[in-house]
Amino acid sequence: MGNLWANPLFGIFLTVITFYIGDWTAKRIKSPLANPLLIAMVLCVAVLKLLDIPYKDYMEGGQFISLFLVPATAMIGLSIYRQRKVLKQQFFPIVIGCLAGSLISMGSTIVLCRLLALRQDMLASLLPKSVTTAIALDLSDQLGGLRSVTMMAVIICGTGGAIIHPFIIRLLKLKDPVATGVAFGTASHAIGTAKAIEMGEVEGAVSGVSMGIAGICTVIIALFL
């Protein structure tokens, strides 16, 4: 039986089927907690723990899903093209929003880490938390952070954002799709963008652009730290 779990097809199957269940559930239960990624994650971890399957075995297949990170995120280019009119009209709000958001993200992290007396390497790991994985890991190295801690912070900002932001939007009755898109992309990178795409085409495209601009802003701000 052990060999079956290490077969790459198992990891792919488990990911596809749990994500399908997550997506199916999310479409029926209109709650921010019913998020396809979160449901898939919980179901996968539950299956791996219950059947005592090592993470390494799961990743034999899981790595093939991860490989599609670049092709899937690249398709944001299509959303951007489809929304080019909005982007032209809203150029300044988007760029200034991304810059302000990146400053708030890094500034609040520094202040909060000092207040809670976290270790210096934790601060370095947390600074790039709002940007997309590839940029965040490079920045973490550059600042002297721990890669896996950065990875966790990035994932929490993404999945946490996909859950928390819709709550905030409902609570405060935030309505502007452009501002929502910029806020999603700047605070919660690609995972937030995936959620923004579910909310609407404008939100998704603006979030995709903002994720890129915020990434570049963060890299530049980090040069001064």
Partner 1 sequence: MNMKILRQLGIILAICLAAEFIVSLLPIAFPSSVTAILILAALLGLKLLKVGHIQETADFMLSNMAIVFVPVSIGMVEDIGLLKGQLKGFLLVVCASLVLTFLGTYVTVRIVQICLDKLAGQGGASDG
The site string for partner 1 over 135-164 (x = CB under 8 A, - otherwise) reads: x--x---x---x-xx-xxx-xxxxxxxx-x
The site string for partner 1 over 64-83 (x = CB under 8 A, - otherwise) reads: -xx-xxxxxxxxxxxxxxx-
Q: Is 117 left (phi over 0), alpha (psi -120 to 50) or beta?
A: left
Please, which residue, 5 or 177, has the CB nearer to partner 1? 177
223's tokens: 């040069």
Q: For the CB of residue 28, give the shortest distance to partner 1 in the complex, in Å.
A: 17
Of 45, 170, 30, 182, the closest CA to residue 100 belongs to: 182
Please, which residue, 74 or 225, has the CB nearer to partner 1? 74
Residues of span 16-55 touching partner 1 by CB under 8 A: 16, 18-19, 23, 35-37, 40-41, 44-45, 48, 55
Residues of span 118-137 touching partner 1 by CB under 8 A: 118-119, 122, 126, 129-130, 132-135
Q: For the CB of residue 222, give the shortest distance to partner 1 in the complex, in Å.
A: 11
> Is residue 166 involved in binding partner 1 (CB under 8 A)?
no
Task: Return the CA Rg of the chain.
Answer: 18
Q: For the CB of residue 200, give the shortest distance to partner 1 in the complex, in Å.
A: 9
Cβ atoms < 10 Å from Cβ of 138: 16
The site string for partner 1 over 83-112 (x = CB under 8 A, - otherwise) reads: -x-----x-xxx-xxx-xx--xx--xx--x
Counting residues that bind partner 1 (by CB under 8 A) gives: 109
User: Is residue 47 helix, strand or coil?
Assistant: helix
How far is 197 from 88, CA to CA, in rounded Å? 19
Residues of span 173-202 touching partner 1 by CB under 8 A: 174-180, 182-184, 186-188, 190-191, 193-195, 197, 202
HSE-CB at 28 with a 13 A cutoff on CA atoms is 6
Of 17, 2, 14, 8, the closest CA to residue 52 belongs to: 2
HSE-CB at 165 with a 13 A cutoff on CA atoms is 30
